[in-house]
Amino acid sequence: MSKSLTYNFRVMIIENQKEANHELSTIGCDVEGIKIMRDKYTFYTIKIKDLSPTQVNIIKQEILSLGGEAATARGAIDHSIKKSDTIISGTLKQIESLINKLSSHKYFDLSKIGQAIKEALRNFLAEPTLFKARNLSINLKKRTYIMGILNVTPDSFYDGNKYYDYENAIKRADELISLGADIIDIGGESSRPRAKLVSEKEEIQRILPVVKYLAKKKKCLISIDTQKSKVAEKALIAGAHIINDISALNFDSKMAKTIARYNAGVILMHMQGSPKTMQNNPLYKDLIFEVISYLKKSIEIAEKTGILSDQIIVDPGFGFGKTITHNLTLLKKLKELKILGYPILAGTSRKSMIGNILNLPVDKRLMGTAATVVLAILNGANIIRVHDVEEMREVAKTTDLIVRV
């Protein structure tokens, strides 16, 4: 460093309005001045797919006129291509001004694009508040919630055969509650790659006694990990609150109506293919866009059948039709799922992505899991699905304080 450099500097990271307010107030800015300036200190980049050359050229002109930036495909300017994506960037103030400009356009669906940007930005900036499941609710603004995994299966990748019989299962359920689980996710069919399929009858026989036991205790939310509507219905009748559907309502056409009928919550998870095929060379052109698009379609199915918006959780599906690079990218970019406007669940616990990084067997992946849980919470996860409830509860509590500083 030059000895003549006598000024003190700080290259700042300002991620939201709250931080902008704080930093501006620390240097003694006028209160009214802060209100005017704070939106100029937060910066956003938005990608919009499959627009016409006319649309992207007008959007580019408008954002450039406001001092922002826009990129389009090379052939958009001379209309030598039919479609182009665009990436626009600017301060919150500039993006909001762009929305207003587009909303005043009468042609080329620009007003609709403006409204879509407005909704996407509103979802991204908002924090989910309540999640409701039947007669219960949780306040998502308070902290990260812990979903404890209870597989009553002989072949799950980590705890298979540990809790297959009833006595061990209910003992483990009590233990998960005592260790701090807010939700217990009961699975009667393994969804690991190439796992053996289980009949509805067998799946019901596995999960139902545990559901009935937990329903009587009334100590936690009960989630059922199933793709089958008949299994879901039996569990809901017995007292379950949430259906965790790894197919995101795509496997069983009756699932959405079943969930809506019982006013239950639903977890919609992204998966490419099925458990049998999902790890056979998974490929994506645009991973984040494809995950978001898939979940959007499932959200539409849910809401059309009467499942309310505050009863929906989304899950990017770590390990379900993804390579290690896909999983790490999803974890790094998890916050982008906030554009959907729903709480995010992250399930990375002891998965092969961690084993591949550390070259460790499943029973040695606790610390690797902790690292992924920290990053998931920092990037917007509201619920973490884990095997190690006590340890991850401590990780979540510590990380929550960092996020909420």
Residue of 192, 351, 365, 393 with catalytic role = 351
351 is an active site residue: yes
142 is an active site residue: no
The 8 Å CB, 24+ separation contacts for 395-404 are: 395/370, 396/143, 396/144, 396/146, 397/143, 399/144, 399/373, 399/374, 400/143, 400/144, 402/378, 403/377, 403/378
Of 267, 269, 270, residue with least CA distance to 287: 270
Of 382, 403, 304, residue with least CA distance to 147: 382
List Cα–Cα distances, 76 to 47, 62, 135, in angstroms.
15, 16, 52
List Cα–Cα distances, 227 to 233, 291, 302, in angstroms.
11, 19, 14
Identity of residue 336? E
Q: Are 40 and 91 in contact (CB under 8 A)?
A: yes
The 8 Å CB, 24+ separation contacts for 75-81 are: 77/53, 79/53, 79/54, 81/53
Element (H, E) at 65: helix 53-65
**Gap between the Cα atoms of 225 and 246, Å rounded:** 7
Q: Give buried/exposed letters for 150-182 (b at 16+ CB in 10 A, else e).
A: bbbbeebbbbbebbbeeeebbebbeebbeebbb
Catalytic residues: 351, 385
